[in-house]
Chains A and B, each alone.
Chain A
Amino acid sequence: MKQVPDWDIPPASFKVDEATKKVVPPPGVAAVASQFDEIAVEAAMRIKDADNSVKVTVISLGAPTAREVIKKGLAMGADEGVLISDDSLNNLDSSAVATVLSSAIKKLGDVDLVLTGRQAVDWDQGTTGTLIAGMIDAPVVTFAKAVAVNDGKVTVERVLPDATEKVEAPLPAVVTVSNELGEPRYPKLQQIMAAGKKPLQTWAAADLGLDAPALAPKLTLESLFVPVVDTKVEIMEGDTPEEQAMALARRLKEAKLI
């Protein structure tokens, strides 16, 4: 689960500091869990609903505040959390992020299924799950809208823009989860209280045996900026909807668009 700036803000209040190449969150707006990651936890909980012996671990790589998103996962019903955080792990590129996460998965050991969001809602790259799969040498299935585990196999319904697919893979496997899976469950107050008592460890790069060369960037962020939109909208005037509609139809005709 990744902690990200709240995406649900009006585009007009979205700002970037071009010098630091970072987003400036509007004051008073708290960071949140990346939307698809909560849905990935939901996918895990549905597997656990079917077989309560399944153990679910939530991992987050990020600032100490990412503890909050792990707690959200624990409140949804996950069993334990791992926060990977230290100053040497800031500003990593996506392959370094996958290196850290796959090292953590290896350290946990005995992981049958890795679930991630289809993409993080900040960078929208959609590569982390697949990169992890490569690093732990597991098959990957992307864009899941349903995930079930049976007889050492994961069965995934994939949602694609023009098709749906049913794909099977042997465990251990990696599955990336899409919003079509459905809403993440809403923790009850009792569960939120109980989450505070669940185990939550913090690991640093050294705990994973990772040093600077292992995390050297392959992709460099050269710049981050807000694109300028200079369209000026022409609002159709009129006293009635009919007049407004006719004004639009005539403008479309003038502009040779109809």
Chain B
Amino acid sequence: MPNGVLILAEVVDGEVVAITNELVGAAQRLGAGPVSAMLIGAGVEGAAAKVTGVEKTYVVDDAALAQYTTDGYVAAAAAIAQQADPAIILLGQTDMGRDLAPALASKLGTAVAMDTIAMEMNDGKLHTTRPAYGGNARAVNSFSTEPAIATVRPKSQDAIEGGAAGAVEKVSADMSGVRTNVVDRQEASAAGVRLEDASVVVSGGRGLGSPENFAGIEELAKVLGGAVGCSRAVADLGWRPVAEQVGLTGKVVSPTVYIAVAISGASQHMAGCSGSKNIIAINKDADANIFKAARFGIVGDFKTVMPALIDAIKKVKDEG
């Protein structure tokens, strides 16, 4: 009988990343049996002690896993799943999770639901809720095969705090079937605050008209200690790097303040920022969709509004 919840722990530079604790929190709240973790990579065994709130951490530590490949990681994850026999497997909707989850589902002959924002047990089955149709709709799915595999949107679940690490169990996986080879990898250079972690994000859209006009966006972000984001239209035009794209196919951000300048607020953009606590819209079109999700708005031309806003915020801040 499959039992319990297995989560994928992600480690960067020896540290467990935030999504891992969010997955453990979600898994515990499901109340679907013991929670265990899988940790996959090269030289990751030491990090197992940092995965907390779980009964057991299964580790596949293999030099062949130094670079992420679908083949390699799916072999490792499937070996762990066989050993742990969970009823549910949760992964983050991250670079790794969104690639690995469907491959694992295929390997285990089961189903997968991506980008879960809410979940519950109902009649002993996992039910997941996810955005669909570019964020316009919500779809609730239930699983009729086990293990039920779901990826979970970052920051959609409260993380566990503290808790003890579980027992570590090493698992070996056969890496001889790895067919893909990563020949090169270039990290996008991130200056300043990481977009996903920033408490203020100032994003610019196509309405800015040119990459030069991002100077105002950058300055406002600097005054507020925030990070710069953009819409896909802007990334597609090459005005800003893909690393700054917010949305369905970009990054999901949930800052305290999200300022959208000359962004129409298409559902696919909102899919990446609707979790923000306060959306502030600056747009010359009073009917733009962005105003439907915003708490504060200015209807006006960014060319005059942005310099005025930068000044006004500086003044108000100086007043202490």
Please give the residue numbers on chain A whose beta carbons come within 8 Å of chain B beta carbons, in ascending order.
Answer: 5, 7, 10-12, 14, 16, 23, 93-95, 98, 118-119, 121-127, 130-131, 133-135, 139-143, 155, 159-170, 178-180, 217-227, 229, 231, 233-236, 240-242, 244-246, 248-253, 255, 257-258
Query: Would B224 and A258 count as touching, CB distance under 8 A?
Result: yes
Q: Mark B180-196, 1 if CB is under 8 A from A, else 0.
A: 11111111101000000
A13-B301 Cα distance, complex, nearest whole Å: 26
Contacts of B280 in A (CB 8 A): 248, 252
Q: Give the distance to chain A from B142, nearest Cβ to Cβ, in Å.
A: 5
Contact B308 A236 (CB under 8 A): no
Given contacts A179-B249, A223-B139, contact A161 B317 (CB under 8 A): no
- Tell which of A12, A164, A236, A257 touches B257, judged by Cβ atoms closer than 8 Å: A257
Other than the given A161-B242, A167-B183, A244-B308, 6 more pairs (CB < 8 A) read A95-B111, A118-B249, A122-B132, A130-B70, A166-B182, A245-B298
Q: Sample 27 A-B pairs with CB under 8 A, ordered by A number.
A: A5-B133, A11-B267, A12-B289, A95-B105, A119-B249, A123-B133, A124-B115, A125-B114, A126-B98, A127-B101, A133-B103, A141-B70, A143-B99, A155-B183, A161-B250, A163-B185, A166-B182, A167-B180, A169-B180, A224-B138, A231-B293, A233-B281, A235-B299, A242-B312, A245-B308, A248-B280, A252-B296
Asked if A179 and B309 sit within 8 Å, CB to CB, the answer is no
Q: A161-B243, A170-B179, A241-B304 are in contact. Are A235 and B297 (CB under 8 A)?
A: yes
Return the contact of A134 from the options B107, B267, B296, B309 (Cβ within 8 A). B107
Instruction: Return the contact of A135 from the options B106, B181, B182, B184 (Cβ within 8 A).
Output: B106
Contact of B296 among A179, A222, A223, A248 (CB under 8 A): A248
**Interface members, chain B 272-295 (any A CB < 8 Å):** 274, 278-281, 286, 289, 291-295
Closest to B302 in A: A241
* Interface membership of B56, Cβ < 8 A: no
A219 to B106, CA, bound (A): 13
B248 at the binding interface (Cβ < 8 Å): yes
Does B311 count as interface, using CB distance less than 8 angstroms? yes
State the B residues within 8 Å of A (CB).
69-71, 95, 98-99, 101-103, 105-107, 110-115, 127, 131-134, 136-145, 179-188, 190, 224, 232, 236, 242-243, 245, 248-251, 256-257, 265-268, 270, 274, 278-281, 286, 289, 291-301, 304-305, 308-309, 311-313, 315-317
A163 in contact with B187 (CB, 8 Å)? yes
Compute the total of residue contacts between A and B using a CB distance below 8 Å. Answer: 248
Query: Given the complex, which residues of A lie within 8 Å of B113, measured CB to CB?
Result: 125, 219
Distance A164 CA – B278 CA, assembled complex (angstroms) = 32
Most buried by A among B95, B106, B115, B281: B106
CB pair B185 A14 closer than 8 Å: no
Among B98, B257, B286, B312, point to the contact of A246 (Cβ < 8 A): B312
A162 near B243 with CB under 8 A, answer yes
- Given contact pairs A233-B295, A249-B309, A139 touches B137 in the complex (Cβ within 8 A): no
- Given A95-B111, A258-B316, verify A130-B293 contact (CB < 8 Å): no
Q: Given contacts A179-B236, A244-B305, A253-B316, are A14 and B181 in contact (CB under 8 A)? A: no
The CA of A240 and the CA of B113, in the complex, are separated in Å by 49
For the complex, give the distance between the alpha carbons of A110 and B187 in Å: 37
**Known contacts A224-B132, A231-B292, A162 near B144 by CB under 8 Å:** no
Alpha-carbon separation in the docked complex, A222 to B144 (Å)? 12
Residues of B within 8 A of A224 (CB): 132, 137-140
**With known contacts A167-B182, A246-B312, A253-B316, A161–B102 Cβ distance under 8 A:** no
Chain B residues with CB under 8 A of A162: 95, 187-188, 190, 243
Q: In the complex, what's the smallest C-beta–C-beta distance from B236 to chain A, in angstroms?
A: 6
Q: Shortest distance in angstroms between B89's beta carbon and chain A's nearest beta carbon?
A: 14
Q: Which residue of B lies closest to A257 (CB)?
A: B257
B237 → chain A, closest Cβ, in Å?
11
Interface centre among A121, A155, A248, A250 (most CB of B within 10 A): A248
B residues near A159, Cβ cutoff 8 Å: 242
Residues of chain B contacted by A163 (CB below 8 angstroms): 95, 185-188
Closest to B265 in A: A11
A226 to B138, CA, bound (A): 6
CA distance A237 to B70 in the complex (A): 53
Return the chain A residue nearest B294 by Cβ: A233
Q: Are A124 and B312 touching (Cβ within 8 A)?
A: no
Task: State A146–B300 Cα separation when bound (angstroms).
Answer: 40
Chain B nearest CB, measured from A161 CB (Å)? 5
A91 to chain B, nearest CB (A): 13
Q: Are A180 and B242 in contact (CB under 8 A)?
A: yes
What is the CB-to-nearest-CB distance from A34 to chain B, in angstroms, rounded to a whole number?
Answer: 11
Q: Are A127 and B112 in contact (CB under 8 A)?
A: yes
B296 adjacent to A166 (CB under 8 Å): no
Asked if A251 and B70 sit within 8 Å, CB to CB, the answer is no
Q: Which residue in chain A gives the minimum CB-CB distance to B112?
A: A127
**A245 & B311 in contact (Cβ 8 Å cutoff):** yes
Complex interface: chain A residues within 8 A of B99 (CB) = 130, 142-143
User: Is A229 in contact with B293, judged by CB distance below 8 angstroms?
Assistant: yes
Least CB separation from A16: chain B residue: B137
Instruction: Tell me the smallest distance from the CB of B239 to a CB of chain A, in Å.
Output: 14
A245: chain B residues within 8 A (beta carbon): 298, 305, 308-309, 311-312
